[in-house]
Amino acid sequence: MPSTFSAVKNTICPQKSDFTVDHIPDLTGQVAVVTGGNTGLGKETVKALLQHGAKVYMASRNKERASAAIQDLKELTGKEAIFLQIELTSLASVKRAATEFLSKEDKLHMLFNNAGVMWADVALVSEDGYDWQFAANALGHFLFTELLTPALIAGHSTAPNGRCRVVNTSSLSAMNLTMKWDTLKDGPARKKTSSDDLYSQSKFINVVHALEIERRYGARGVAAFSVNPGLLKTDMQRDFNPVLRAVLYTFFQDASQGALTQLWAGTMEEPLAHSGAFCTPIAKIGECRKEAYDPEIGKMLWEFCLDAVKNFL
């Protein structure tokens, strides 16, 4: 398993890759959903998918911002994404979004669970009583993916190479720590945990979730990946101290570079031989910390999340 040092080194100085968006195959007839697609990494992902012929649903919280992004991308690509309203910290909203999508489409070929928050105020709790970062980065995506899994399974026969794909946008921070089960719901333990640790835990969960999708649905035509996109200039740093942000941006990459790894995982043939993998920049198969591959942790997480969302399935 990789050391934290080597993982940091490979993130700051990504391994060279020949992959560019020009290598993405024709996606005509393919349906994709990208959460958080109106800005940063998600917007770059939507752009590339549209350019290659996919029908793309932009699942975002803010309709006004999404509409502006859709118009911008239409001017750039000549193609128009479809707005799908979702608030990932509300399980009821996630249910509504999935229901709306399924009323329009019976097949889904690519699901990019891209949206996320970073280092949110520990005081924030979701409307369902869960840690805000766990809800936004992990639990909401878990429910969304489960509700859309029938469409993914239905779509695999018309997907390239016979596999539909789920791509979870994780982070280098997934390397930092594993599970602190008593911090997922609001309570004394969560309140004593740093925002950084809560963020890292949510990104670790993204990795475990992808592995569990492969274990449970791989034989039914669904491939899954988690992705460390690298150190990027995105809206994820919108709440950072301006001085810190300025320092970080001296070596952070643009979102267009960060989108490459998840686009590679979501569209290319090569990664299909490694379904469940933790992908690293740029367009490489990597490894997360060893605990992520423990099937017992995967089982416990799946059961916890299923119980959390049971009223919305």
DSSP bridge partners of 164: 222
Q: What is the DSSP track for 272-295?
A: GGGTT-EEETTTEEE---GGGG-H
> How many helical (H) and strand (E) elements, i.e. helices and strands, does the chain have?
11, 10
Q: What is the DSSP track for 207-262?
A: HHHHHHHHHHHGGGTEEEEEE---SEESGGGTTS-HHHHHHHTTTPEEHHHHHHHH
CA dihedral 230, 233, 239, 240 (to 10 degrees): 80
Contact by Cβ (8 Å): 212, 138: no
Owner of token pair 């080597």 = 6
Residues in the chain: 313
Peptide bond into 82 cis (omega under 30): no
Catalytic residues: 170, 199, 203
Instruction: For CA atoms 177, 136, 118, 17, give the dihedral sign.
Output: positive
Owner of token pair 């016979």 = 162
